[in-house]
Amino acid sequence: MATRSLRPLTFGGQPLTVDRARRMRWTATGMLAAMAVIFVATHGLAVTGHPAWGYLNAFAEAAMVGGLADWFAVTALFRHPLGLPIPHTAIIPENKDRIADTMAQFLRENFLTPAVVARRMAAMNIAKAAGEFLAASPERGDVDELSRITSGAAELLAEVLESLDPDRLGSQVRSGLAGQLSKLDIAPLAGRMIETTMADKRHQPLIDGFVRWAGLTLEDNEETIRDIIHQRVAGVLRWAGIDKTISSSVLDGLYKLLAEVLVNPDHPLRGKIEEGLAKLGQDLQHDPETRAKVEEMKRDLIANPAVAVWWTGVWERIRRSLISRARDPESGMGEEMRNMLAELGQALQQDARLQHQINRFARRTMVGVATRYGDQIVRLVSETVKRWDARTITDRVEGAVGRDLQFIRINGTLVGGLVGMTLHFITTVM
């Protein structure tokens, strides 16, 4: 099986945890060597000299024994002491596969079960925490972080839009819209919209706009109307020039009628228009023939190639505009996104019902992930550790806990010395 080595964490090019463990190991080893020197130096004095030398010699002797025992125990975890293949030594590198499986099983049983995930998620208010972050304020100093997020999101949006095939994407969007429109029954919706608009008296500006449009259309087509009247009247009237008088009278009458309808909210023609709109609203909702005609018009519009070409052009302009705005720092898109996120953050902080819904969704999502993919996650952990070579896993574990293990050696040296001195006192007194 292929193996790979992992580089330890570094700062300024130097490993952090490994260096700290190494320094502590040298400290523990130095203390053990010091105890050996003291033991040799005080051995003769303990017999012929002052009684205090006996206590110091006993302390050094027992400290040396305790330090050697703990050195052996600590070293046996990671390698063979002095390179000797002593049984039950080099425990971690020799059993790394079993350790990997045990770690994965421990992770699966204690962290990735649905019950544990649900219990942990229930105690967390993710929505409120997200709201506090999004509602960044200059006083908290979170604005810069939020700005980096929005800038990165804008750049990502631009790259995604650029990477997509515009023709294919436009066709897919168009097909999606066409599919949704084909399922939508437009006629009743339009009928209810007309009724609601008329009930709130919001149709009056629409009628005014229609009357103004009719006046402008009439003005733009005066010559056409005069030609039609000229062709319709009898030849004698044309010879006498009466057709011009008739056409002018007709146009003046139409202009006057439109002006009266525009300024008089109670004009009979305006009432007729409102009656027509009310009937149209009713027919759109309840008349099968009218609804069928609207449905047929909708299908024809969707199937019209000109509409497809028009939508493709609209989509391309939207796409290019979005890319340009996302890439332009002066466009204000970043500021708009920040404002939008800030408003969302305030809503998440203040709306308890929204918090409950989002937290419930997050909890269900995480429980689902643990249920469906928990085995894959722990298998990934197990296989990753198994792929490490023996030296890598030894360096990783020793770098993480080696410093504390060297404290065990130091404590063992000191405790052994105190025990030895106590025993020396007991044997001397007795």
Flag whether the pTM goes above 0.75. no
- In sequence order, the β-bridge partners of residue 14 are 11
Residue carrying the six token digits 């437009």: 186
Asked if 392 contacts 6 with a C-beta cutoff of 8 angstroms, the reply is: yes
Is 14 in a helix, a strand, or coil?
strand
Q: Is the dihedral of CA 215, 216, 217, 223 positive or negative?
A: positive
CA distances (Å), origin 30, targets 25, 71, 103, 406: 8, 12, 35, 11
Query: How far apart are the C-alpha atoms of 133 and 145, rounded to whole Å?
Result: 10
Torsions phi, psi for 209 (to 5 deg): -65, -40
Torsions phi, psi for 221 (to 5 deg): -120, 30
Is 266 in a helix, a strand, or coil?
coil
Torsions phi, psi for 13 (to 5 deg): 85, 0
**The two structure tokens encoding residue 116:** 């544990």
Q: Write down the domain spans for the chain.
A: 15-94+388-429, 168-303
Write the pLDDT tens digit of every residue in 150-172. 777 777 777 777 776 666 666 66
Write the pLDDT tens digit of every residue in 100-130. 888 788 887 777 788 888 888 888 888 888 8
Query: How far apart are the C-alpha atoms of 5 and 390, rounded to whole Å?
Result: 9
Write the pLDDT tens digit of every residue in 55-81. 888 898 999 998 888 888 888 887 888
The band of 3, judged by pLDDT with boundaries at 50, 70 and 90, is: very low
Q: What was the pLDDT predicted at 229?
A: 66
Amino acid at site 400 = A
Task: Average the pLDDT over 375-389 and give the result.
Answer: 79
Q: Cβ–Cβ contacts within 10 Å for residue 423, how many?
A: 12
